[in-house]
Amino acid sequence: MKERTFAQLSTGFWVMLAFFLLALWLVSPFIKIDASDYEHAQTNLYRLFFGLFILIIELGILTFETFSPQGLARRVSNFRAIAVFIFGLLLLAFVIFIVAQSAVIYLKAGLSQIESPY
């Protein structure tokens, strides 16, 4: 089996970190979103889609890299397993937060249209 050098490992780390920071930048408008963001809804939808897509792909990669050695009868560190689990929970909480926040904005906009028919 070919062994990896330190330069290859650190390059992979920096690439994953760059993708993670890109994904955080893409989803950053959704941390605080309000009705004034309707004019940028199409752009924000694409940003949300690509940001979540990158985060889900990274979660899959990290999960595979963490738990695949167990199939080869090598023990996985508890820290890595807990870190992947926490990352997955944070990603799930963020998705639920965005869906709930979007639903509240949508319902508020609907109520304001009902109250003022003109």
What is the domain extent for residue 66? Answer: 6-115
In this structure, which amino acid lies at residue 89? L
Structure confidence at residue 57 (pLDDT): 92
- How far from 94 is each of 84, 100, 105, CA to CA, in Å? 15, 10, 16
Residue 62 pLDDT greater than 80, yes or no: yes
Mean pLDDT over 16-32 rounds to: 87
Q: Please report the sign of the dihedral spanned by the C-alpha atoms of residue 30, residue 36, residue 38, residue 40.
A: negative
Among candidates 49, 55, 46, which has minimal Cα distance to 21? 55
Closest CA relative to residue 105, chosen from 36, 10, 45 = 36
Cα distance between residue 27 and residue 45, in whole Å: 10
**Whether residue 50 has pLDDT greater than 80:** yes
Number of domains in the chain: 1
Mean pLDDT of 31-60: 81
Three-state DSSP state, 109: helix
- Whether residue 105 lies inside any domain: the answer is yes
The pTM score is 0.70
Tokens representing 95 are 């998705």
Q: Is residue 36 part of a domain?
A: yes
Closest CA to 35 of 112, 118, 109: 109
Predicted pLDDT at 114 = 63
- Going by C-alpha positions, the residue among 31, 29, 49 that lies closest to residue 97 is 31
Residue 67 lies in a domain: yes
Angstrom distance (rounded) from CA 112 to CA 109: 5
Judge whether 1 lies within some domain: no
